[in-house]
């Protein structure tokens, strides 16, 4: 039965539209609607495999060694990991259906783990509230908004700390908490969330002139209507999420470079000596360029938090991050 008042806070409307029984992600695989680093190139899975290998070694090769992918979609990342040792336990955490068949453990919540926790483009899909002048913005299924009552004290407090310049604020508290709860499941190892987002300096510059809450359907950006017909997403307040777990932020172009992803073209002489190898290397270089592009995927944030072990080389905290 529809609720008598069709207007609800964005967090409630988004949660229903995406994750209720007939919600968008229960009926659609993410890969049908948008490209992520995972679906853009197998080089990403190769880099995650190298990262997992480094974490495995730093933990002394435990049995099992966990690789847990939160917001695993159709299990594309886990299925694409090359050369997985038998000792590794691969787990997809998803609200959407188990794709089956790939030998993956499939769970609805993050289990305790020793190993690598990964979440690619999960946090931007965690429902959030929107405020305007410290009042809750409400929305109905077609995307029409109205102003509701005063925001909670904690939402106002978050806004003052993390989005002080805006009248319209996308409150990152739910993402901070979701990430903190996931990281709390890591007994020993490394947690990595990869997502698009902003930091305080960006928010201070653009204030409320650039709200990021939007919709995606069939590869196209659409008006955000919480009616179950599209993905609903908003940029992640990366610095706030990092602070929530005592972690730090590295940009994807730096993280992938540290893991051996480079966009160098092969020497022209190879096109004569070995045309097939030349073409393969050209293709890899162009895929790497997409993953590393500063204004695209390369500008995504990697939120890193090591638990009971060292950060892999090139991925540790540095001054100013």
Ligand X SMILES: C[S@@+](CC[C@H](N)C(=O)[O-])C[C@H]1O[C@@H](n2cnc3c(N)ncnc32)[C@H](O)[C@@H]1O
Binding residues for ligand X, rule: CB under 6 A, are 25, 30, 36, 38-39, 70-73, 76, 93-96, 120-122, 125-126
Residue nearer to ligand X on the CB measure, 70 or 137: 70
Judged by beta carbon, residue 59 or residue 125, the one nearer ligand X is 125
Least distance CB 29 / ligand X (angstroms): 7
Q: Which residue is nearest to ligand X (CB)?
A: 71
Q: How far is the CB of 25 from ligand X (least distance, A)?
A: 3
Rounded to a whole number of angstroms, the minimum distance from the CB of residue 60 to ligand X is 28
Residue 43 burial (C-beta neighbours within 10 Å; 0-12, 13-18, 19+) = buried
- Rounded to the nearest whole angstrom, what is the least distance from the CB of residue 63 to ligand X in the complex? 26
- Of 162 and 196, nearer to ligand X (C-beta) is 196
- 283 close to 43: Cβ distance less than 8 angstroms: no
Element housing 169 (H / E): strand 168-171
Q: What is the 3-state secondary structure (H, E, C) of 121-141?
A: CCHHHCCCEEEECCEEEEECC
CA–CA dist 128, 125 (Å, integer): 9
Alpha helices, DSSP H, located in the chain? 10-19, 24-27, 37-40, 42-58, 76-80, 153-162, 173-183, 200-206, 238-244, 252-258, 270-273, 275-292
Give the residue with the Cβ less far from ligand X, 178 or 242: 178
Minimum distance, C-beta of residue 244 to ligand X, in the bound complex (Å): 16
In the chain, the largest separation of any two C-alpha atoms, in whole Å, equals 72
Least CB distance from residue 96 to ligand X, whole Å? 4
Rounded Cα–Cα distance for residues 64 and 69 (Å): 16
SS3 88: strand
Nearest CB to ligand X, comparing residues 38 and 131 = 38
CA distance 149 to 140: 16
Residue closer to ligand X by CB (options 72, 225) is 72
Q: Are 257 and 289 in contact (CB under 8 A)?
A: no
| Rounded Cα distance, 299 and 197, in Å | 9
Could you give the CA distance from residue 181 to residue 73 in angstroms, rounded to a whole number? Answer: 20
Least CB distance to ligand X at residue 74 (A): 8
Residue placing its CB nearer to ligand X in the complex, 39 or 152: 39
When the beta carbons of 31 and 277 are compared against ligand X, the nearer one is 31
Cβ 214 vs Cβ 233: under 8 Å:
yes
Q: What is the nearest approach in angstroms of ligand X to the Cβ of residue 240?
A: 18
């Amino acid at each position: 039965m529809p609720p008598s008042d069709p207007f609800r806070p964005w967090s409630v409307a988004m949660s229903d539209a995406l994750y209720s029984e007939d919600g968008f992600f229960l009926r659609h695989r993410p890969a049908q609607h948008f490209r992520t680093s995972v679906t853009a190139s197998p080089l990403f899975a190769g880099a995650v495999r190298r990262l997992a290998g480094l974490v495995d070694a730093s933990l002394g090769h435990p049995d099992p060694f966990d690789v847990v992918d939160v917001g695993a979609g159709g299990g594309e990342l886990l299925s694409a990991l090359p050369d997985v040792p038998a000792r590794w336990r691969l787990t997809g955490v998803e609200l959407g259906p188990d794709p089956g068949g790939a030998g993956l453990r499939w769970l609805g919540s993050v289990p305790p783990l020793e190993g690598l926790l990964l979440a690619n483009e999960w946090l931007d899909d965690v429902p959030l509230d929107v405020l305007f002048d410290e009042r809750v913005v409400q929305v109905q299924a077609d995307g029409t908004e109205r102003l509701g009552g005063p925001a909670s004290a904690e939402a106002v407090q978050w806004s003052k700390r993390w989005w002080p310049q805006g009248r319209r604020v996308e409150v990152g508290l739910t993402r901070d908490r979701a990430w903190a709860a996931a990281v709390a499941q890591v007994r020993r190892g490394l947690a990595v969330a990869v997502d698009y987002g902003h930091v305080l300096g960006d928010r201070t510059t653009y204030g409320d002139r650039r709200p990021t809450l939007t919709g995606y359907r069939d590869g196209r950006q659409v008006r955000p209507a919480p009616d179950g017909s599209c993905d609903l997403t908003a940029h992640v307040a990366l610095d706030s999420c990092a602070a929530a777990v005592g972690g730090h932020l590295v940009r994807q172009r730096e993280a992938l470079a540290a893991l051996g992803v480079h966009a160098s073209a092969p020497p022209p002489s190879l096109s004569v000596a070995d045309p097939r190898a030349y073409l393969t290397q050209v293709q890899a270089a162009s895929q790497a360029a997409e993953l590393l592009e500063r204004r695209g995927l390369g500008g995504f944030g990697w939120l890193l938090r090591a638990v009971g072990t060292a950060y892999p080389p090139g991925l540790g905290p540095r001054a100013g991050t």
